[in-house]
């Protein structure tokens, strides 16, 4: 791609980005606005994509790259200083800001016909012991195939994930997607909301659904002992080897679940999946059995990759945490939840998947120094 083509692509993507924020209210007095909100948002996005981690970094980027920025917007008064920048973002409605960003990311990645994994993580380096500042805990929706965070909701701690998950689902366009959630999200209301949004679910089943888990576990054990001759199942096996470890996973999808639906009245229940794993390390063998419920009437060979993709969001094949985000906190009075959302959403996207970032780098070689 030539320089001219890169600049044109970057300009087009900038127009698209700003279009998703056109309805975001600017509560500042119109007659006193020196720095228009679209210019501020564009400055922040490009600076963060170029490596900015603080408002000081963003302000420095604006000073050094003003000519570049003026290719896209007028910037008649230049760019704001770091403290002014914090003041501007602090008055924005964080929830509406997040919604605009989520919609842009969804458009950037295409239709969500894939696995959307929802999980809670504590962000690394987000707490400050000397200021008694608690770590930031986020519930995130992660496009497993594209390795991209689609949306996030901040919660006080892990126990609040049940409340946050429905809010996160409301942010997302899920039609046609398969939503996976760990055991804390195995709730009837959450399953019902996923179905209402024309998506399907695969939910981990643990002790928080005591009677349901017990019935599934007892049924699976009885049927396995009989070779599953009394019920309809499909099976699939995978073997993986890495760093001297061999792991064998056997997926058994139980398709005859009418009895379970009648007893527990679970919304949209179409199947149960049992995953038996055996991990061999030297002479030691570790065994584990996990259970899942799903609204999908899929075969075991189809459900296996869906379940694997959820756990892959925690650690990539290279052993790095995929969803972990380093946060460099600003002083408490200098920013807002909107500012945090900007950092989270921009920095959790894989660079190779971000058309705007790629185009901007090719067009200008922009970098924060």
Q: What is the pLDDT of residues 76-101, one digit of tens each?
A: 999 999 999 988 988 888 778 877 87
Distance, in Å, from the CA atom of 291 to the CA atom of 276, rounded to the nearest integer, reads 9
Distance, in Å, from the CA atom of 242 to the CA atom of 245, rounded to the nearest integer, reads 5
Distance, in Å, from the CA atom of 35 to the CA atom of 33, rounded to the nearest integer, reads 6
Q: Which residues, listed in sequence order, are joined to residue 276 by a DSSP beta bridge?
A: 250, 289
Phi, psi of 158 (to 5 degrees): -60, -30
CB 161 within 8 A of CB 184: yes
Low-confidence ranges of the chain (pLDDT < 50): 1, 3-8, 111-113, 315-335, 348-356, 358-369
What's residue 81's pLDDT? 94
CB 45 within 8 A of CB 342: yes
CB 106 within 8 A of CB 125: no
What's residue 113's pLDDT? 47
CB 6 within 8 A of CB 359: yes
What's residue 261's pLDDT? 87
What are the structural domain ranges in the chain? 3-92+351-364, 106-312
CB 35 within 8 A of CB 77: yes
Q: Interior CA angle at 24 toward 21 and 30, to 5°?
A: 115
pTM: predicted TM-score of the whole model, two decimal places? 0.62
């Amino acid at each position: 791609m030539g320089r001219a083509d890169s600049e044109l692509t970057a300009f087009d993507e900038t127009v698209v980005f700003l279009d998703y924020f056109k309805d975001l209210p600017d509560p500042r007095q119109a007659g006193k606005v020196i720095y228009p909100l679209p210019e501020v948002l564009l400055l922040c996005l490009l600076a963060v994509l170029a490596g900015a981690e603080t408002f000081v970094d963003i302000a420095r980027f604006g000073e050094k790259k003003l000519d570049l920025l003026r290719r896209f917007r007028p910037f008649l008064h230049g760019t704001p200083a770091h403290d002014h920048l914090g003041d501007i973002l602090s008055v924005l409605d964080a929830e509406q800001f997040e919604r605009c960003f989520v919609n842009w990311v969804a458009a950037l990645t295409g239709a969500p016909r894939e696995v959307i994994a929802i999980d809670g993580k504590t962000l690394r380096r987000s707490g400050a012991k000397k200021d008694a500042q608690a770590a930031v805990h986020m519930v995130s929706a992660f496009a497993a195939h594209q390795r991209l965070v689609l949306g996030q909701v901040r919660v006080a701690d892990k126990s609040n994930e049940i409340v946050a998950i429905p809010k996160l689902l409301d942010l997302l366009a899920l039609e046609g997607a398969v939503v996976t959630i760990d055991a804390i999200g195995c709730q009837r209301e959450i399953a019902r909301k996923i179905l209402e949004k024309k998506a399907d679910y695969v939910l981990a089943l643990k002790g928080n659904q005591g009677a349901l888990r017990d019935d599934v576990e007892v049924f699976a054990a009885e049927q396995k002992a009989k070779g599953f001759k009394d019920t309809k199942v499909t099976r699939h096996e995978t073997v993986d080897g890495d760093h001297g470890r061999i792991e064998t996973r056997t997926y058994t999808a139980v398709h005859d679940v009418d009895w379970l639906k009648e007893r527990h009245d679970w919304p949209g229940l179409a199947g149960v999946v049992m995953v038996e794993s055996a991990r061999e390390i030297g002479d030691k063998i570790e065994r584990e059995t996990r259970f899942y419920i799903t609204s999908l009437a899929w075969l075991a060979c189809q459900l296996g990759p869906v379940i694997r993709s959820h756990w892959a969001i925690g650690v990539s094949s290279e052993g790095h945490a995929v969803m972990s985000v380093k946060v460099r906190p600003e002083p408490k009075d200098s920013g807002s939840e909107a500012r945090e959302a900007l950092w989270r959403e921009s920095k959790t996207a894989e660079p190779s998947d971000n058309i705007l970032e790629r185009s901007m780098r090719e067009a200008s070689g922009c970098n924060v120094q």
